[in-house]
Amino acid sequence: MKQQAATAQTDTQAKTPPKPAGLKLPFGAYTLLLEPRVAVILAMVPPLYITAAFIGNDWCYIVPCLLIATLIVGIVLPFIEVSSIACDFHVPQRAGNLEQQEIVLRAWRLPLFGLLSELVPSGYLSAELILMRRTWNDKKRERSSLPLPLVLQSLSKGVEIHLGTPALGRGVYQVDSLEVATCFPFAIAWWSRRIDLKAKNDSDIITVLPKLVPVLGNFHSRLTTTITRAGNSIQNWKRQNKSSSLKGLREFTERDSLNQIHWASSAKSGKLLVREFEIESLPDFDVMLDLSLDWNDEQFNTACMAAYSMVHYGHQMGFSPQLRFSPSMDWEPLAAALADVPPGLSSEELAAEMLARVNPLTKSLLKCYEDDMQAKTRKADDLLSEVAASSHTTLSLVPATDPRSKVSKIISLVELQPSNARAQGKIEGKSNQKNGNDGPSIAQLLGQLSNDVELSRL
């Protein structure tokens, strides 16, 4: 099969044509839509035929016969055209943190009637590629993206089209189906067909990672285990609190001072490299995301963005924050959702891939988790006990209540120390620490976030 390259830049930017009105008749994967002009033609045929019979002129019969032939050809030919289409696709390997991805779609015509299929004219087809966002265990899928309008030219030689998807939110997307429709040649009847598309391999999915936002504020210096003052920025602290122990070399970033550039190594490698020293005093931290809380979509996407950005920030600071979930990752439904995470990733990349696949627990999963806890197959405080035993401080992301809106968009970033890790779900602010062992102390509220700008200033 010969393939004809086609550019999707113009096609995918075309506006979706308005859906025609008329009588819609579904037939499984096929749908027939008869436009109102069909009724007009049917209404014209009987009086013209009667008129021809009354006059007795053979030429007058041609007019109603042509109308009937037009109806037959206008209904049958589009059906043959959409029935003879075959297609497949593949997704090129691209960076997952891009919201716009590329899909390569190949379409061609099947020779249903042998050499006679070449006699069937092929006009323009309107097509829509449907993407579905994967949810828990792939048992339920949500159509979370707009169809992609494009026009397929004659398929007698086959076409290969590079499609640019619209901006997609965080998640894992699968190509679900291709819907093709045509009314060629007389535009009196629309036949449409849904062609299910199956991925050839596991890599033919689109993974959109959470948005990465540079954290430029001083929240790290405000942690209770930090000995620096809260007013000092991270940039000033790093200039003043480096040890004399050289850790290694890394690529220059906009935060680095020009005095730290190692010119000899930079000249050899062809890019700017800076000295990286061991960092003292600032505590290591882990990031925790509780999936069982009452999240809405905007809150959870903001929380995933914040979690990924803080994990990235930790790597920039020279340590490796761990991403924790509640329920923990050995819980069967969560383990199944993360089963297709690519192997061999760094801890930062692994955190991004996991955040792209998780979602808040549904009501059924939440009940299942509660039943597990009641059956004592799991302990409710397993994760909190792990946090309490850790030497790192834990930064927890929880939904916040906005009194001005019924649907809150705000999340809270809370510092959980080992002694107060059990208070994660009850944080609304900072209170005084209790003396003795009467109970856990309330953790510190570090900030409230609703967008990337507030996260950057954190």
Q: Are 155 and 256 within one domain?
A: no
Q: Are 407 and 261 within one domain?
A: no
First to last CA, the chain: 57
Is residue 214 in a domain? no
Is residue 80 in a domain? yes
Q: Are 123 and 179 within one domain?
A: yes
Q: What secondary structure, in 3-state letters, does the chain show?
A: CCCEEECHHHHHCCCCCCCCCCEEEEECCEEEEECHHHHHHHHHHHHHHHHHHHHCCHHHHHHHHHHHHHHHHHHHHHHHHHHCEEEEEECCCCCCCCCCCEEEEEEEECCCCHHHHHHCCCCCEEEEEEEEEECHHHCCEECCCCCEEEEECCCCCCEEEEEECCCCCCEEEEEEEEEEEECCCCCCEEEEEEEECCCCCCCCCEEECCCCCCCCCCHHHHCCCCCCCCCCCHHHHHHHCEEEEEEEEEECCCCCCHHHECHHHHHHHCCCEEEEEEECCCCCEEEEEECCCCCCHHHHHHHHHHHHHHHHHHHHCCCCCCEEEECCCCCHHHHHHCCCCCCCCCHHHHHHHHHHHCCCCCHHHHHHHHHHHHCCCCCCCHHHHHHHHCCCEEEEEEECCCCCCCCCCCEEEEEECHHHHHHHHHCCCCCCCCCCCCCCCCCEEEEEECCHHHHHCC
Per the structure, how many domains does the chain have? 3
Q: Are 153 and 302 within one domain?
A: no
Q: Are 226 and 168 within one domain?
A: no
Is residue 401 in a domain? yes
Is residue 330 in a domain? yes
Nearest CA to 420 out of 437, 400, 402, 404 is that of 437
- pLDDT of the residue at 331: 86
Q: Are 273 and 413 within one domain?
A: no
Q: Which structural domain range is residue 304 located in?
A: 219-241+282-456
How far apart CA 379 and CA 99 sit, in angstroms, is 38
- pLDDT of the residue at 26: 92
- pLDDT of the residue at 437: 37
Enter the tokens of residue 192: 């449409």
Per-residue pLDDT of the chain (458 residues; tens, 9 = 90+): 333 344 333 333 344 455 677 889 999 999 999 999 899 999 999 998 888 888 888 788 899 999 999 999 999 888 988 888 888 888 886 655 555 677 888 888 887 766 666 666 666 778 888 888 888 755 556 665 556 666 666 676 677 888 777 778 888 888 888 888 888 888 899 999 999 888 777 677 888 889 899 988 777 777 765 443 334 444 444 444 454 456 678 788 766 677 778 888 888 888 888 876 655 556 788 899 989 888 988 899 999 999 999 999 988 887 888 898 988 888 888 888 898 888 888 889 899 999 999 999 988 888 888 887 776 555 545 555 555 556 678 888 888 865 455 567 889 888 876 554 444 444 443 333 333 333 334 467 888 898 888 898 88
Q: Are 131 and 232 within one domain?
A: no
Regarding pTM above 0.75, the answer is no
Is residue 295 in a domain? yes
Q: Are 267 and 291 within one domain?
A: no
Decide: 410 and 416 in contact? Cβ < 8 Å: no
Q: Are 289 and 273 within one domain?
A: no
- pLDDT of the residue at 154: 61
Phi and psi, residue 393, nearest 5°: -80, 155
Q: Are 94 and 176 within one domain?
A: yes
Q: Are strands 102-109 and 125-134 parallel, antiparallel or unpaired?
A: unpaired
Is residue 213 in a domain? no
Q: Are 431 and 314 within one domain?
A: yes
Q: Are 425 and 293 within one domain?
A: yes
